[in-house]
Structure 1
Amino acid sequence: MARFTVPDYDDLPAVEGMPHGCAWGIFDRDGKKDVFGCLNFLDPATVREAYKELTEGVSVSLNWPLDAILEPSFSRKALVHKVIRSEDQLDGARGFDDELEFNTQASSQWDSLVHYKHQATACGYNGDKSTVEELQRPSRQQRDPKPPTLDHWHLRGGLVGRGVLLDYFAYSEAKGAKYSCFKERRISVQELEEVAKFQGTEFKQGDIVLIRMGVTAELDNANGESQAALIRSGTYIGLEGTEESARWFWNKRFAAVASDNIALEAIPPLKADGSLGNLSELPLHQYLLSFFGMHIGELWDLEALSQKCKAFGRYSFVLTSVPLNVPGGIASPPNALALF
């Protein structure tokens, strides 16, 4: 596979009927609509280069427990774990099966490229207009062209690349700035650059960037009603939802981005006129998912990773992730590992 060369944000070609910044068609090849988006930056040469990060023989799970949030945000279903005695099903054989029922956005997750559409046109990445009925079809009945859902990751062998941690929380502590993740705080891309400089981190095309803000740790330290109150507050730390932020992410040629917070970008969003928006007005979700095809990860557990990065004195590693192979899957636990 040839290495992708793409125009900078300001030079992206116009897409009829869409605002500037829409990267539809950039990754299309041989007349076929692309379903991978920025994962295309993970070409074989980039992946081989990432393997150079593997020197210590140490792995770190980045997956928060599925039941970590007792009352998930936005009325999403919490985990239901049913344990079944094998004696009742397998001719008296002793043991257990289990069944899981949960919303794929309730804990650590990847968002697919149809999760949050460009709101004005109701289009997902590359113009996708899949319906509920189409997305729920079994794999043998999927239409062509197929929607850009997470099951396609398995056609490329999952995600393998160079991960980079931007430890904003540790950086803020070092600078004497303490904060609650459930009070208004909007992180600029200039601050992300400062974190990278503080850590001695340099970016490369195809990086999967992880941003630690401290959200999962704050929720882990709360329990019961106090945790629920934080979630119900509706105010969550995150990135500035601006075109400037979007431009930065595209121009870095990241393959994907994930964080330990609720929605990557700050909620509620701040509109251009200075007023607060609502959940139908999330700028970065529209830019990254719908326009760029850059998958967003949320609620990743980055606490142990932060400690390992500090101990090893570096903030880059091999990152692997294999989402659930569900036809038409909208989101999934990431099943992610950082390897040193």
Structure 2
Amino acid sequence: MTTLAEFETLCGKVRNWGRWGADDQRGTLNLIDRASLRRGLAAVETGEALSLSMPLQLKGPQDGSGIPGRINPVRTMLGINTPMGPDPAAAYSDDIVVMPLQAATHWDALSHVSWRGRMYHDVAADAVSVAGAARLAIDTFGPVVTRGILLDVARLEGADRLPGGFEVTAAHLDACARDAGIEVRPGDIALVRTGHIQLFHAGDIHGYHTPTPGLGIDTAAWFHEHGVAAAATDTIAFELLPARCPELVLPLHVLCLVMMGMPQGQNFDFEELSRACAADGRYTFLFEATPLPFRCGTGGPINPVAVR
């Protein structure tokens, strides 16, 4: 268990406020540069492209037990084979979607979480209003393309799927990188596999929600020390749930988003990628995960792609 005092100390150790200038809104995404992109390109050998996204559908991960108001995407037809003019030979079909920006596979924007009235870079929490996020919104991310690394903790543990409540520690991340022969470099994006998404695939949506395996508090320092640009998991919470910090529900959200300015992703699907990496022993790849640029959005849906 982590006490509130210990948590506060860790906040000070990983805080990046002011690191990239007074006007910074991108946080650790600033670590992605041409060198990290070239590392991603150099990791491509076969040209195999794998989507890491959940499908956007009504039978999604939102079962009403998480954040109030979050629903699965609702798609409705606006037109079905509707003639475009007097001649019915040419017709169109159109549809509309209503969905939370964090419904399925997504990045959290740095405006998604605040701590004691402040967001990343000491931005006041009231920068988020009914109009959305005036600062630190998802559209400030820009293109997200760099080297991705798969840290397959489930495979490290000899498990197909980690059990709910399993805490992924910094030691696990070190062991995964070592076993895969990866030198983690600034600007890399870390994808941490637990196998937990298998519950979602099996239709156990409630079991997918809680308890979940996930990243423990000490991984914040690991991400900070290695210069990781962003991190994502195959769980709905990103971090261990329930957390081992009695005073906080999601302490790693505060450490990553507020203190470090490090984007975090949830509901990624690493199952196909895990099998491919295990088959040939290559755990690095070109990774593209640019969110849809919703102005003032506190999150952004994505279809992340790993190119091997």
> TM-score under structure 1 normalisation?
0.79
Partner of 1:135: 132
Q: Given residue 174 of structure 2, which amino acid in structure 1 is its aligned partner?
A: E
Kindly indicate whether residue 239 of structure 2 is the aligned counterpart of residue 265 of structure 1.
Answer: yes
Alignment of 1:44-55 (within 5 A): 44-55=34-45
User: Residue deviations 1:153-207, cap 9 Å, x none?
Assistant: 23xxx1110000001112222xxx57654x3221111112112222222211111
Alignment of 1:36-185 (within 5 A): 36-67=26-57, 68-69=60-61, 71=63, 73-74=65-66, 75=68, 76-86=70-80, 90-91=84-85, 93-118=90-115, 121-129=116-124, 130-135=127-132, 147-154=135-142, 158-173=143-158, 177=159, 181=163, 183-185=164-166
Kindly indicate whether residue 185 of structure 2 is the aligned counterpart of residue 204 of structure 1.
Answer: yes
Quote the Cα distance in structure 2 between the aligned partners of 1:153 and 1:100.
Answer: 23
Q: CA deviation at 1:132?
A: 1.4
Alignment of 1:238-257 (within 5 A): 238-241=214-217, 244-257=218-231
Structure 1 residues 73 and 312 mapped into 2: Cα distance closer, same or farther (>3 Å)? farther
Show structure 1 runs of 4+ deviating over 6 A: none
* Counterpart contact for 1:105–1:332, Cα < 8 Å: yes
For residue 84 of structure 1, give the secondary structure of its aligned residue in structure 2.
strand
Quote the Cα distance in structure 2 between the aligned partners of 1:134 and 1:27.
Answer: 27
Q: CA deviation at 1:95?
A: 2.8
Give the aligned length: 290
Q: CA deviation at 1:256?
A: 0.5
User: Residue deviations 1:276-312, cap 9 Å, x none?
Assistant: 4553xx2211111011110001110111111121223
* Counterpart contact for 1:63–1:333, Cα < 8 Å: no
Partner of 2:175: 194
Partner of 1:11: none
Structure 1 residues 44 and 70 mapped into 2: Cα distance closer, same or farther (>3 Å)? closer
For residue 95 of structure 1, give the secondary structure of its aligned residue in structure 2.
strand
* Counterpart contact for 1:238–1:267, Cα < 8 Å: yes
Kindly indicate whether residue 23 of structure 2 is the aligned counterpart of residue 33 of structure 1.
Answer: yes
For residue 141 of structure 2, give the secondary structure of its aligned residue in structure 1.
helix
Out of 314, 321, 335, the residue aligned to residue 289 of structure 2 is 321
* Counterpart contact for 2:232–2:268, Cα < 8 Å: yes
Q: Given residue 173 of structure 2, which amino acid in structure 1 is its aligned partner?
A: L
For residue 157 of structure 2, give the secondary structure of its aligned residue in structure 1.
helix
Cα RMSD of the aligned pairs, angstroms, is: 2.2
Alignment of 1:221-236 (within 5 A): 221=202, 223=203, 227-231=204-208, 234-236=210-212
Partner of 2:252: 284
* Counterpart contact for 1:269–1:277, Cα < 8 Å: no
Quote the Cα distance in structure 2 between the aligned partners of 1:148 and 1:113.
Answer: 5
Q: CA deviation at 1:22?
A: 2.1
For residue 198 of structure 2, give the secondary structure of its aligned residue in structure 1.
helix
Quote the Cα distance in structure 2 between the aligned partners of 1:89 and 1:278.
Answer: 56
* Counterpart contact for 2:84–2:92, Cα < 8 Å: no
For residue 165 of structure 1, give the secondary structure of its aligned residue in structure 2.
strand
Identity of aligned residues (%): 28
Q: Given residue 122 of structure 2, which amino acid in structure 1 is its aligned partner?
A: G
* Counterpart contact for 1:150–1:331, Cα < 8 Å: yes
Partner of 1:301: 269
Gaps of 5+ in 1: 1-13, 137-145
Structure 1 residues 311 and 152 mapped into 2: Cα distance closer, same or farther (>3 Å)? same
